[in-house]
Amino acid sequence: PKAPPVAHYNLNNVTITPNPLENRENILLLTPMARFYQEYWDNLLKLSYPHELITLGFILPKTKEGNAATTELQKQIAKTQKSGPEKDRFKSIIILRQDFEPPLQSQDEAERHKIQNQKIRRAAMAKARNSLLFTTLGPSTSWVLWLDADVIETPPTLIQDLARHDKPVIAPNCFQRFYNTEKKAMDERPYDFNNWQDSPTALELAKKMGPDDILLEGYADMATYRALMAYMAKDDGLRQETVPLDGVGGAALLVKADVHRDGAMFPPFSFYHLIETEGFAKMAKRLGWQPFGLPNYKVYHYNE
Ligand code: GDP
Ligand code: MN
């Protein structure tokens, strides 16, 4: 019998450049998904980066809500990949179901954000992201775009716009639209507080913590005085302005695949007193990859 063929991949031939489109670079778009939002899918379809170069990867919890989301997702996938216009079709799509127990209970925004629920939630999210990443990252992946299932509005040129900065890790600013009752008009407010620059106070707080304790951002009883990218947006600010970051969120995040290949993942435990995406930023930094953010480049989170 003939020996099976061996697949050789020369990673040096997989380019990761500021012009991914010209260089036909493969994008792995990863989404942990607890709920399916039609707006998220419609926004994906509007991405102008060639869909034939985009692989989608999803991980959904094995909860009642996760089952419902999986059904919805599969419906849309069938529509797009089979009967929809050819240009809308993605290169491939992978759906994973979370294999660890217990799954997180479904929580509304207020419940999710309670400080005592955060460590368990963030650890579970970290494991979900790691499972998704390690089962889907391939030898031809150039970039990994993390995009949460409730990020429902981005510029169609998101991938090109983020990649052109040529940064190892880069995060746009995640806002939320809402109806401002005082102004009697639609308005927007910062949503993701995990994109930040460190402060002496936060570093001092961390020093006094036990080995398993984590710092959390956006909680009054834990004032860190970090500089939050959420508050760095300016009305007349340049969209291409970049700032270095020490912590990042996962709502929307473009990562050079080599950063993950080097071993940067989402710690589901206290790593320098940071967890999940914030721990990831620290790990990338320790590997020599500096994360950046775009304070004036906005994407929008669903308003529950
Ligand atoms: P928040 O916006 O920071 O409050 O975080 P979310 O609850 O929106 O979670 C971030 C992303 O992970 C979203 O895309 C969710 O749909 C998804 N998500 C939330 N909980 C789970 C879970 O238990 N398992 C998986 N696989 N995804 C989840
Ligand atoms: Mn969210």
The atom of ligand 1 lying closest to the CA of 194 is 3
Is the CB–ligand 1 distance for residue 97 below 6 Å? Answer: no
CB 188 within 8 A of CB 178: yes
* pLDDT tens per residue across span 108-146: 887 777 777 889 999 999 999 999 999 999 999 999 999
* pLDDT tens per residue across span 240-283: 999 999 999 999 999 999 999 999 999 999 999 999 999 999 99
- Compute the distance from residue 95 Cα to the ligand 1 centre, in Å: 15
* pLDDT tens per residue across span 54-101: 999 999 999 999 999 999 999 999 999 999 999 999 999 999 999 776
Is the pLDDT confidence value at 191 over 80?
A: yes
Q: What is the pLDDT of residue 107?
A: 73
The 10 Å Cβ neighbour count of residue 122 is 22
Probe target for ligand 1 pocket from 30, 33, 304, with the most ligand atoms within 8 Å of CB: 33
Is the CB–ligand 1 distance for residue 216 below 6 Å? Answer: no
3-class SS of residue 176: strand
CA of 194, nearest ligand number: 1
Is the CB–ligand 1 distance for residue 60 below 6 Å? Answer: yes
Q: Give residue 11's pLDDT band: very low, low, confident or very high (50, 70, 90).
A: confident
Cα–Cα dist 71/270, whole Å: 35
Q: What is the pLDDT of residue 101?
A: 65
Is the CB–ligand 1 distance for residue 148 below 6 Å? Answer: yes
CB 172 within 8 A of CB 297: yes
| Residues with C-beta atoms within 5 A of ion ligand 2 | 150
Closest-CA residue, ligand 1 atom 8, reads 150
Map out the domains of the chain with their CATH numbers.
11-301 (3.90.550.10)
Q: What is the pLDDT of residue 221?
A: 82
In terms of Cα–Cα distance, which of 279, 254, 249 is closest to 266? 279
Q: ipTM higher than 0.90?
A: yes
Is the pLDDT confidence value at 151 over 70?
A: yes
